Structure 1
Amino acid sequence: MSTHTDIDLEGAVAAVDDGPLTVSITRRVAPQDELLMQAWVHAGTSMAERFEGFLGAGWVRSGSEDWHMLYRFDSREHLDAWERSPERIRWLRSAADLVEHRRTEYRTGIEGWFDEPASSAVHEPGPATPPRWKQASVIWVAFFPTSLALTYLLSPFSAGWPVVLRVLVTTVLATPWMTYVLLPFVTRLFGRWLKGS
């Protein structure tokens, strides 16, 4: 499988403002290589976590071949350090026969999984963003069971806590769960519906 790595996009980041940056990369992988791809993505995330300014990463599959990977750094300087690192370059080369690079987008601003970026630099045009009502519906499908479960699980311990403390603990637990586990799952589950008109 031919590849086009994303290490040659040095000028793309210069187009966006300084501050936290989210990089969205689309890669194509043959369906029979799913387990290899999961291991490869895990290895890349484990390396990125060791770099200063790393804020998180995740991935979502759409269809049988396209993988949408996200990672976020607190500044352009820290993002550049990761993207130009020998570790990342070797990691990308290790998948030369596994992945085909399709698209890279650098985003700034506070985006959800679907929101339009405040500013961005895109390597190739991508699919249209789903309508806001569909975005809100999918987020609610993830948020409601999470909120309900945490309310029941924490109630034996938090009954006498001030409201602010209860909300703080709930959001601290819910945010990573929704970002890295439940929202990617729900997005895949409703992927066809989100893309439909």
Structure 2
Amino acid sequence: MSQPITVAIERHVDPSRITEATIWTQAGTDLAARRPGYLGSGFVRAGAGSDIWYMLYRFADDASLRAWETSAERRWWLESGRGFASEARVERRTGIEGWFDAPAATVLADGGEGPARPPRWKQAVSIWLGFYPTNLVMTALITLLVPGVLSLWLPLRLLVTTLLITPVMTYLVLPLVTRWLQPWLLGTRRR
């Protein structure tokens, strides 16, 4: 079974062209969002004075990721940003950790480090914020729609509910929660 793949990219962006780079980045996100298998994306700048930007995008599987990465739209988009943005590093990650990882720490011009993975407690809070309401709604729906489910042996009932909740969490809830909480997770502010 194929897993979702998160791609983390570190780019150097010309600081004199931040407005253009921001519009360019959003255009790339909009293009990717139309592709089958797209699960989400985002970007943060390493700091106000830094030329380093971290970008993440996630696809449902290797085939949909490869289709995006080899598409004519993406080639056009990359070419249109060549004058002010260049890739420094690209990493691919699978599994839930990929949602929280930023690219490996990078030494900045001021001697500081770029953003790292959020602390485990922030990851736990993010997962809980998605899991609790999803579990509550799914349990209520299953109880209403499947008569007698409460009389099932507890391990069997949990097997059924977790089989239903896991894909919803993986493909819908976790991408949304991490996108909404990205500034908090990575310690940045929304524009």
Work out whether the TM-score is over 0.5. Answer: yes
Correspondence list, 1:47-66, <5 A: 47-63=31-47, 64-66=50-52
Contact 1:60 1:188 in 2 (8 A): no
Return closer, same or farther for 1:137/1:29 CA change in 2, 3 Å cut-off. Answer: same
Partner of 1:165: 137
Residue 24 of structure 2: SS of its match in structure 1?
Answer: helix
Contact 2:40 2:175 in 1 (8 A): no
Q: Give yes or no for the alignment of 1:69 onto 2:41.
A: no
Contact 1:73 1:79 in 2 (8 A): yes
* CA deviation after TM superposition for structure 1 residue 130, in Å: 5.0
Q: What per-residue deviation string (whole Å, max 9, x for no partner) do you get for residues 151-178 of structure 1?
A: 9xxxxxxxxxxx822999xx98985564
AA aligned opposite 1:180: R
* CA deviation after TM superposition for structure 1 residue 96, in Å: 0.9
Which runs of structure 1 show a deviation greater than 3 angstroms over 4 or more consecutive aligned residues? 128-131, 137-144, 171-178
Tell me, in whole angstroms, the C-alpha distance in 2 between the residues paired with 1:74 and 1:174: 14
Alignment match of 1:94 (pick from 80, 83, 86) = 80
Return closer, same or farther for 1:61/1:137 CA change in 2, 3 Å cut-off. Answer: farther
AA aligned opposite 2:100: W
Residue 19 of structure 2: SS of its match in structure 1?
Answer: helix
Partner of 1:3: none
Partner of 2:156: none
Return closer, same or farther for 1:31/1:126 CA change in 2, 3 Å cut-off. Answer: same
Tell me, in whole angstroms, the C-alpha distance in 1 between the residues paired with 2:70 and 2:121: 38
Contact 1:57 1:71 in 2 (8 A): yes
Return closer, same or farther for 1:56/1:104 CA change in 2, 3 Å cut-off. Answer: same
The two structures have a TM-score, normalised by structure 1, of 0.59
Tell me, in whole angstroms, the C-alpha distance in 2 between the residues paired with 1:143 and 1:85: 33
Residue 39 of structure 1: SS of its match in structure 2?
Answer: helix
AA aligned opposite 1:184: P
Residue 105 of structure 2: SS of its match in structure 1?
Answer: coil
Residue 65 of structure 2: SS of its match in structure 1?
Answer: helix
Return closer, same or farther for 1:29/1:140 CA change in 2, 3 Å cut-off. Answer: same
AA aligned opposite 1:113: F
* CA deviation after TM superposition for structure 1 residue 127, in Å: 2.1
Per mean C-alpha deviation after superposition, the further-off stretch among 72-81 and 57-66 is: 57-66
Percent identity, aligned pairs only, is 35
Partner of 1:121: none
How large is the Cα RMSD of the aligned pairs? 3.7
Residue 96 of structure 2: SS of its match in structure 1?
Answer: coil
Contact 1:47 1:87 in 2 (8 A): yes
Structure 2, unmatched stretches of 5+, are 107-114, 141-167
Contact 2:4 2:61 in 1 (8 A): yes
Structure 1, unmatched stretches of 5+, are 1-16, 116-124, 152-162, 191-197
Tell me, in whole angstroms, the C-alpha distance in 2 between the residues paired with 1:24 and 1:62: 14
Tell me, in whole angstroms, the C-alpha distance in 2 between the residues paired with 1:166 and 1:19: 23
Alignment match of 2:105 (pick from 111, 121, 127) = 127
Query: Radius of gyration: which is bigger?
Result: 2
AA aligned opposite 1:182: L
Tell me, in whole angstroms, the C-alpha distance in 2 between the residues paired with 1:49 and 1:102: 23
AA aligned opposite 1:114: D
* CA deviation after TM superposition for structure 1 residue 138, in Å: 4.4
